[in-house]
Chains A and B, each alone.
Chain A
Amino acid sequence: MDCKYFQEQLSWYIDGYIEEDEKQKLEQHLQQCALCAQELEEMKLALKSLRELPEVELPPGFRQEITKKLKEEHKKIYGSKPFIKRKIMKRHWLSWGATAAVVVFMLIAANIFRMFNMGSQSQTASNDLAEAQPNQEVMQLEKADTPVLDQEASITAQEEIKSSTDLAEVPEEKTSDGEQGTFQIMAVPDNMRESEAVVEVVSDLSVDIEVDQIQKAIQVLEEIVEKYNIQDFHIQIKGENSSGSSEATVYLTLPEDIVQKFLDAISTHYKLVNMRTNSFRAEDEKQEKNPSNLKLHLKNST
């Protein structure tokens, strides 16, 4: 065996990736051959200079940039999240009169609803009154401090609502800034038509979510709720039977600035299919810090 054969083995010998008998032969050769012994020493020295290269630090802003790019990538892959957008509104869906009528109707309906349920458990708001049928089986896991409807009514009264429930949603529509699938809440009074900019403040939001298993979905939601440290949270489960529940409604109140994040988190698990909202025109930016009431309606997709 010549030196070339042994020298090829030096690299594996350094790493210990060599069979025992080959190792013995090599070591024997190294004792006799100064050239190969020198080759080994030089190799070790050279590799030392390589291994001593320091780890370089990340450049400033690297993390922020990658986070931003990943978010954009996420949107490209999964589409943007259906959530209210404060935007410049150039079109209208409901006239001011119709909007006002809906608000009045809601206030009346809310009061009637409360009268009928006086003394019963705390009831929660529903834009879809069918859900508030008295014959529904209600399992209230946790009671909200403030019934959503009360809060809704008070906001309605105080803030002189300019738009209301059942506002149109425009899913999958490409918006001016290029985001796709954003739900836009459009309700502009006559005197606001063609106005340059209206800031929408979301007070109540109702979202339908398609899930495969209600119980599993509730667990997922509970995890997310826990993550965002949301205290005001309760669940109603409808139609529970031996084969499991078919529907559930989750009510929660959370700071408005985390609503988007919260919905993003849910949308990584489930499809958000429908969205309705109460929103009002903000005269005062401080109103944006109001808590938002969310109603999540879980529906079995099968």
Chain B
Amino acid sequence: MDEKKLLAKVKKGDLESFNILVEKYQKHVYNIAYRFMGSREDASDAAQEAFLKAYRSISKFRNDASFKTWLYHITANVCRDELRKRKNTSVISLDVPIMGDDGQEIDRQLKSGNPSPEEQFEVKENQSFVQEVINSLPEDYRIILILRELQGLSYEEITEALNCSMGTVKSRLSRARKLFKDKIINIREQNDISKRQVR
């Protein structure tokens, strides 16, 4: 059954039709939440809340809109709200040096005990490292990168999902990519320096 018919039924209160949509989108919603929140547990809660919110507010869904982008919009908002609730908890930036108990600066990039430089390099190259860089980005940049690079949304779809203009999407995506790239390169270069020093 096509999505429009399912949505018409959902609007009449048909939970089973909504469950079909959950089945179709659950993995995408969960993955967006996971990459945004950075933890599986938080992602699970956020994804579930997103579906509940969507079901609760289905009457507000415009029939001519795309359910996918509407759902992603809700998902992004749920994730943002959740992070906002936790704003009192410390957010560690990759850029800001952390002071140790002895007042010495601790370089977060070299936190992994004393593994060999090769091992360090591998750790930094792995997926959790990339995720850490995502986590360090401002929320607006994080979500636009997730939607574009991981979910493969078109610019037009992103304008709907983020409720902003094409101009905003283009400039924000451009800045988000540049910042992401700079962080990756910067850390890689630091890593190369530490490798040379060890040698």
Query: Which A positions have Cβ atoms within 8 angstroms of B?
Result: 7-12, 15, 17, 42-43, 45-47, 49-59, 62-63, 65-67, 69-71, 73-74, 77-78, 265, 267-269
**Contact B181 A43, beta carbon cutoff 8 Å:** yes
* Given contact pairs A8-B174, A43-B177, A77 touches B40 in the complex (Cβ within 8 A): no
In the complex, are the beta carbons of A70 and B155 less than 8 A apart?
no
**Contact at A11–B173, with CB atoms within 8 Å?**
yes
A71 touches B40 (CB 8 A): no
Q: Is B110 an interface residue (CB 8 A)?
A: no
CB of A55 within 8 A of CB of B40, answer no
Q: With A50-B180, A58-B30 in contact, is A70–B52 under 8 Å at CB?
A: yes
Instruction: Using CB atoms and an 8 Å cutoff, list the residues of chain B in contact with chain A.
Output: 9, 12-16, 18-19, 22-23, 26-27, 30-31, 34-35, 40, 43-44, 47-48, 51-52, 55-56, 125, 127, 130-131, 134, 145, 149-150, 155, 170-171, 173-174, 177-178, 180-181, 184-185
Min CB–CB distance B51 → chain A (angstroms): 6
Residue of A nearest to B134 (CB): A50
- Sampled A-B contacts (6; CB under 8 Å): A11-B170, A17-B155, A17-B170, A50-B149, A62-B30, A66-B22
Q: For the complex, would chain A's binding face be called helix, strand, loop or mixed by DSSP majority?
A: helix
Known: A43-B181, A53-B127, A69-B52. 19 other contacts (CB 8 A): A9-B174, A17-B155, A50-B180, A53-B130, A55-B31, A56-B31, A57-B27, A63-B26, A66-B48, A66-B52, A67-B19, A70-B19, A70-B51, A70-B52, A70-B55, A74-B13, A74-B55, A268-B14, A268-B16
Given contacts A11-B173, A11-B174, A42-B185, contact A56 B145 (CB under 8 A): no
Instruction: State the CA gap A122–B18 with chains docked (Å).
Output: 40
Across-interface contacts of B184 in A (CB, < 8 A): 45-46, 49
Chain A: minimal CB distance from B152 (Å): 9
Closest to A43 in B: B181
Minimum distance in angstroms from B12 CB to a CB of chain A: 6
Q: Which of A8, A47, A56 contacts B149 (CB 8 A)?
A: A47
The residue that A65 contacts in the complex, of B48, B149, B178, with Cβ under 8 A, is B48
Q: B residues within 8 A CB of A42?
A: 181, 185
Of A15, A43, A63, A77, which one neighbours B155 at CB under 8 angstroms? Answer: A15
The complex places the Cα of A269 from the Cα of B11 at a distance, in Å, of 10
The residue of chain A having its C-beta at the shortest distance from the C-beta of B181 within the complex is: A46
Tell me if B27 and A58 are in contact (CB < 8 A): yes
Output the nearest chain A residue to B128 by Cβ-Cβ distance: A53
Q: Which of B15, B16, B43 has the most CB of A within 10 A?
A: B15
* Neighbouring B residues of A70 by C-beta, 8 Å: 15, 18-19, 22, 51-52, 55
Chain A nearest CB from B134 CB (Å) reads: 8
Partner of A56, one of B15, B40, B125, B130: B40
CA gap between A59 and B33 in the complex, in Å: 13
A94 shortest CB reach to chain B, Å: 34
- How far does the alpha carbon of A122 sit from the alpha carbon of B131 in the complex, in Å? 70
| A62 and B26 within 8 A (CB) | yes
Nearest-Cβ distance from residue A259 to partner chain B, whole angstroms: 16
Q: Considering the complex, give the chain A residue whose CB is closest to the CB of B27.
A: A58
B2 nearest CB across to chain A (Å): 16
Interfacial chain B residues near A69, Cβ < 8 Å = 48, 52
- The minimal Cβ–Cβ distance linking B49 to chain A, given in whole angstroms, is 9
Contact of B15 among A47, A55, A65, A268 (CB under 8 A): A268
* Alpha-carbon gap, A49 to B126, bound state (A): 9
Residue in A15, A53, A59 whose Cβ sees the most chain B Cβ within 10 Å: A53
Q: Is the CB of A268 within 8 A of B27?
A: no
Query: Closest CB-CB distance, A72 to chain B, in whole Å?
Result: 9
Name the A residues within 8 Å of B155 (CB-CB).
Answer: 15, 17
Please, which residues of chain B bring their CB within 8 A of the CB of A50?
130, 134, 145, 149-150, 180
A46-B177, A46-B185, A50-B145 given; A59·B40 CB < 8 A: yes
